[in-house]
Amino acid sequence: MAKRIMAGRSTPQSSRRGGSNSSTTTNTRGTTTKPTAPTPTPDEARELLEIKLAQLNSLLWCCYGDGNGWFEEAGEKHRDNMLWIAADLAREAEMLLEVSGRG
């Protein structure tokens, strides 16, 4: 599973945005983001949920998992960004769990 994620496993086809309709917005952190993709089907949501949870698990393992001190040594800016990523992944996983339960 991890090798598929690390290799850049793609999202299901129906969740991808077309090129001509992809406008960008600026969020509160000053980064550019694309609008939210269409809601996936329950089967796609379960697959995406598995991916998001594997990513979150790997991120948190790197931050804390083996006690290697990377998180403390990263500096305040990078720690903040890593926690931001973790929060985004957790929110996305929660949404995907809700969608996957509809089927």
Q: What is the pLDDT of residues 56-103, one digit of tens each?
A: 999 888 888 776 788 888 899 999 999 999 999 999 999 999 999 865
Burial class (CB in 10 A: 0-12, 13-18, 19+), 48: buried
Model pTM? Answer: 0.58
Q: What is the pLDDT of residues 20-58, one digit of tens each?
A: 444 445 555 665 556 667 888 999 999 999 999 999 999
pLDDT above 60 for 13: no
In this structure, which amino acid lies at residue 45? Answer: A
pLDDT at 16: 36
Percentage of the chain surpassing pLDDT 90? 38
Q: Residue 82: CB partners within 8 Å, gap ≥ 6?
A: 59, 63, 71, 74
